[in-house]
Structure 1
């Protein structure tokens, strides 16, 4: 077995592109097993722009057996202001489990974090197993199977479970969507109106989207993970829009404008694959705390689903992740028709 770092290629046609694509495929195979669905998979050409984001630097370790790539470890950091936190993930093909490859990759990626002075590691693992003894989240909401392979692996390496997220699926099309939208708009009142766009953020909204992106990192429930603030600027929003042009996926955004102030106070994003037979991914949904209580979460959700139906109809479903303690957003999702299909454990290790 050999473990080596692969420099992230500029394109899939560049040196290292084939190895990067194989690493993404391995991650998809492992996640399809742990989450019980291949709907969560992203293709290499969809992933690469994210891995090249200078505001979210990535590194990639590969495990080879007889020259063949059989596992990978992903390493990510984010905010330049935070020098403590790193996000990691280890994936090994099922037929190579039990050979010490996952252990070796975890050792290597933890050494990498330590060499950069990181003191907190965050990792996420999917599960669809519901039987047997449970390990409860310290938030009081949700649990993971104690005897699951990933649970035993992380506990043995001194990781602690901090949060459980629910993975939910919404079959499309949504029944009575226009009625839901009209009801949400009426409940929110005349001080709020919905604006939508496809792809790049309109110039007039970049500063507001930067505020919302920053607040997403601080206002979303993160329990004992203590995720750091990730500061966005209008310039960073424009850079992210430019990178998205390199991806075959399309972003559909719905935002709520507070009419008296002329500022955006909430937003939600859907990431839509080019292929109509693939699932749509729900990205961030946030309403600023000072504007909660007006059913804006419901308004945003159904407005963007209506936007999807108008602009990119024909997809089978939408997937979303929500913290189990985030009852307001779970209420919105359940009212629209989302159904739980899996869970994800969020883990922390202090070096």
Structure 2
């Protein structure tokens, strides 16, 4: 007999030590299992205490968390995220649905998806965006609308999304860089990128919170991440950052056991930052480092600044934080320039995810 279940909204705690944090912790454990099965590796796992800061920005990116239990066990989860107060942000929302493999095919994913879509429609959202990993498989392929990359059409998650009216807009590639790197190769790569960029550009580094002198510049770079990075037909709205928001985000991240390493490049004639990249280090050196945002402003591209930034930060990781097994990064498949930088550094693909869009109106 098919068990009955309901979709319930779960509490997002203020701290992991809160009495109401158990549900949140369980959802992160579920997410880690589903992700590991999709990518064939546990290197993408995050702990609940590492993840929580991303959920605690209600003024800019409010998130809601949902779950389904069967016999007291959490077997499916979903989340719903929006942006606040940005031009065009009232039209779009982001969502996700994850169900444990043994409980798929029972309508749990459908119930969570319908719940999230109903929330979006009730708020007047025009479109819902989701990012879903697709393991490789045999048979016919479904091409992304960009013309770069594809997913197996017969995969369960692909059939599910197509059946619900989603369109595959973009493919994101997950890539892995084995560590440690060779000292000589790092020095040579940095020297080559420095020579190509020229004297007009200078690299700066910091660990943890953003230095006050760079708050305004980093706010601009974060804002431009939402407009300059490839986003295919997703029509993602501009996400405006301010110096105040950067500082507040730094304070939230300080509660996490992870350490961030930032390399940024200054355009010396103007004294402004024009590119940056961030590595996120777990406290356990047996786990992988996350390569987070990387951006060079459009008007400063063509000077090998992407290579300069990545090599600079990898060299800082190699020198000051040795012992990690790898670095994991994600890039849009049509972002050929950044993928070439990664491949030149030794990154190899480990999996792919689709970026999907559904029109709700």
Q: Is the 8 A contact 1:79 1:231 kept in 2?
A: no
5 Å-filtered alignment, 1:281-292, equals 281-292=290-301
Normalising by structure 1, what TM-score?
0.98
Q: Counterparts of 1:103 and 1:16 in 2: how far apart (Å)?
A: 27
What count of residue pairs does the alignment treat as equivalent?
351
Match of 1:186 in 2: 195
Instruction: Measure, in 2, the Cα distance between the counterparts of 1:276 and 1:126.
Output: 26
Name the structure 1 match of 2:305: 296
1:94 is aligned to: 101
Give how far 1:67 is off. Answer: 2.1
Asked whether 1:345 is paired with 2:357, we answer no
The answer for unaligned runs of 5 or more in structure 2 is: none
Task: Pick which of 285-294 and 63-72 moved more.
Answer: 63-72
Write the distance in 1 (CA, Å) between the matches of 2:299 and 2:189.
24
Question: How far apart in 1 are the matches of 2:20 and 2:30?
Answer: 15
Quick check: 1:48 aligned with 2:55? no
Q: Which residue of 2 aligns with 1:77?
A: 82
User: Which residue does the alignment assign to 2:39?
Assistant: 35
Partner of 1:246: 255
Partner of 1:257: 266
Instruction: Tell me, yes or no, if the aligned pair for 1:2 and 1:65 is still in contact at 8 Å.
Output: no
Q: Distance in 1 between matches of 2:320 and 2:90?
A: 41
Q: SS of the residue aligned with 1:302?
A: helix
1:7 aligned onto 2:11: yes
| SS of equivalent to 2:43 | helix
- 2:162 aligned with 1:155, yes or no? yes
Q: Gaps (5+ residues) in structure 1? A: none
Q: 2:21 aligns with which of 8, 17, 20?
A: 17
Asked whether the 8 Å contact 2:207–2:261 carries over to 1, the reply is yes
Maintained 8 Å contact 1:195/1:255:
yes
| TM-score normalised per structure 2 | 0.96
Partner of 1:278: 287
Aligned to 2:65: 60
State the SS of the aligned residue for 1:50: helix
In 2, the alpha carbon distance for the partners of 1:15 and 1:106 equals 28
Structure 1 distance, partners of 2:211, 2:15, is 27
Within 5 Å, give how 1:128-277 maps onto structure 2. 128-175=135-182, 176-277=185-286
Match of 2:195, SS state, is helix
Runs of 4+ in 1 over 4 A off after TM superposition: none
Confirm or deny: 8 A CA contact 1:282 1:318 kept in the other structure: yes
- The root-mean-square deviation of aligned C-alpha atoms, in Å, is 0.9
Cα deviation code 1:284-342 (max 9, x no counterpart) = 11001111110000000100101111221110000111111101101100110000111
Mapped partners of 1:129, 1:290: distance in 2: 37
Give the superposition deviation at 1:53. 1.4
Asked if 1 retains the 8 angstrom alpha-carbon contact of 2:134 and 2:158, the reply is no
Aligned residue number for residue 111 of structure 1: 118
Tell me the equivalent position of 2:319: 310
- Look up the SS of the partner of 2:257 in the other structure: coil
In structure 1, distance between residues paired with 2:20 and 2:7: 15
